[in-house]
Copies of this chain bind each other. A is one copy, B any other.
Amino acid sequence: MNGPLRIGVAGLGTVGVGVLQLLDRHGGLIAARAGRPIVVSAVSARDRGKKRPADISGLRWFGDPAAMARDPEIDAVLELIGGADGVAKDVTEAAIAAGRHVVTANKALLAVHGAGLARAAESAGVTLAYEAAVAGGIPIIKTLREGLAANGISRVYGILNGTCNYILTSMRDTGRDFAEVLAEAQELGYAEADPGFDIDGVDAAHKLAILTALAFGCEVDFGGVYIEGIREVSALDIAFAEELGYRIKLLGIATQGEDGIEQRVHPCMVPQGTPIAHVDGVFNAVVAEGDFAGRVLVEGQGAGAEPTASAVVADLIDIARGIALPTFAIPAAELRRLPALPAERHVGGQYIRLMVLDRPGVMADVTAALRDEDISLEALLQHGRSPDGAVPVVITTHETTGAAMDRALARIADLKAVLEPPRRIRIELL
């Protein structure tokens, strides 16, 4: 075990280059911690000649990453290509079939094909490691799989997308609206040109599905995640949240219930006193609730070349040290298939914001619709006056089901005096 761990890097985007730079900078440190050196034996990417901030001229080159994965001088393959299918999946499967360990940063691949890949890796006796796939530089996979291994986990939740958290933080700090802040985030490189994957919650849902499998010992079920992004969050709602003692965060939340698993990604009102309310900007944070450890929060940078490279190389060091664990903490064959609980059944408080005509009788109609669904009010705010114009009305409610609120909101939306579709944000007391 004292020979070097020889790796092949598939994908030389910012993360791939970050890994090469990290291995170059910390070669000695890594050899001391891993018990042997980690050396790059080969690389593969789409364009060999592309200018990159790392010198790859001395490394073997493969045009076909799957061929690299089968190369006899490779012990472990880094899959840093991305995407749930296509080349990324092909390389991963080829590497596992050839008996190579795989380290991936690919949340989509794991979220969609995690159960099958885990079975394949365990049959082949290789490690499939993915610390970098969830929350970048935060070692949350290791924390759940090993650090909290003695606990029954009741809930895991977190801020899993730095782009959304940056946008929501910036909206709060500046009072500006979503579109303007998104444009700025795109200029600064915090949001992609095509931002849908992030702001519509899909990226966070991929990560949540992985955390769920690990926390509860069940098969990854990305299809079971309820997903709602942040496009509809307005500056007005953020201001009302502050006034009511909340912050708006896009959270992924997974809970183990008696009859299944509830997975939700959506904007939440969280009390300002709770630790996750203070996780701002591009930072991510994950909270796991263990029955012995209690609430454990891990916060750090969820994206970027350097934090992601830190996670990738930590996985490599584990492999070099000979640490071999099941992909999802327990053998893949023992992972349960648990029913997905629909979000409409979730019980909790809700925040509703209406734009209504400022005239008598409107509130009577609105509150009657809530009463008829047995929804009780916690607070009601109305600011400003605009006789016969539109004013915002905010209502927070005590616990109710999503389904009851859906019915009440449908009736409220139909009222003549309600001028825009009602906005609804779930309250999470955490």
Residues of A within 8 A of B (CB): 18, 22, 25-26, 29-30, 32-34, 131, 137-139, 142-143, 146-152, 217, 275, 278-279, 290-301, 306-307, 309-314, 316-318, 321, 323, 325, 329-331, 334
Q: Are A310 and B292 touching (Cβ within 8 A)?
A: yes
Q: Are A217 and B296 touching (Cβ within 8 A)?
A: no
Which of B25, B294, B306 has a CB less than 8 Å from the CB of A306? B294
Which of B33, B142, B300 has a CB less than 8 Å from the CB of A293? B300
Which of B26, B142, B290, B316 has a CB less than 8 Å from the CB of A142? B142
Q: Are A22 and B150 touching (Cβ within 8 A)?
A: yes
Q: Are B152 and A146 touching (Cβ within 8 A)?
A: no
The CA-CA distance from A301 to B288 in the complex, in Å, is 12
Which of B142, B149, B311 has a CB less than 8 Å from the CB of A317? B149
List 3 tightest A-B contacts by C-beta distance, closest first.
A139-B147, A150-B313, A137-B293
A301-B295 in contact given A139-B143, A146-B142 (Cβ < 8 Å): yes
Instruction: Using CB atoms, name the residue of chain B closest to A38.
Output: B150
**27 residue pairs from A and B, CB less than 8 Å apart:** A18-B292, A22-B292, A29-B152, A32-B331, A33-B330, A137-B294, A139-B146, A139-B147, A139-B296, A146-B318, A150-B309, A150-B310, A150-B313, A290-B310, A292-B309, A292-B310, A292-B313, A293-B306, A293-B307, A294-B306, A294-B307, A295-B300, A295-B301, A297-B298, A298-B299, A299-B299, A321-B325
What copy number does this chain have within its complex? 2
Q: Are B334 and A32 touching (Cβ within 8 A)?
A: yes
A139-B150 in contact given A300-B294, A307-B293 (Cβ < 8 Å): no
B residues less than 8 Å from A292 (CB atoms): 18, 22, 137, 306-307, 309-310, 313
A143-B147, A297-B297 given; name 8 further pairs at CB < 8 Å: A29-B217, A33-B330, A137-B290, A137-B293, A142-B147, A149-B313, A291-B306, A296-B300
B residues less than 8 Å from A131 (CB atoms): 147
The CA-CA distance from A294 to B297 in the complex, in Å, is 16
Instruction: Using CB atoms, name the residue of chain B closest to A298.
Output: B298
The CA-CA distance from A33 to B25 in the complex, in Å, is 35
B residues less than 8 Å from A25 (CB atoms): 291
The CA-CA distance from A88 to B291 in the complex, in Å, is 29
B residues less than 8 Å from A297 (CB atoms): 297-300
The CA-CA distance from A314 to B310 in the complex, in Å, is 23
The CA-CA distance from A330 to B137 in the complex, in Å, is 21
> A326: shortest Cβ distance to chain B, in Å?
8
Instruction: Using CB atoms, name the residue of chain B closest to A323.
Output: B323
Central interface residue in A22, A30, A131, A149, by most chain B CB within 10 Å = A149
Which of B147, B278, B318 has a CB less than 8 Å from the CB of A278? B278
The CA-CA distance from A278 to B292 in the complex, in Å, is 23
Q: Are B310 and A301 touching (Cβ within 8 A)?
A: no
A143-B146 in contact given A32-B334, A323-B323 (Cβ < 8 Å): no
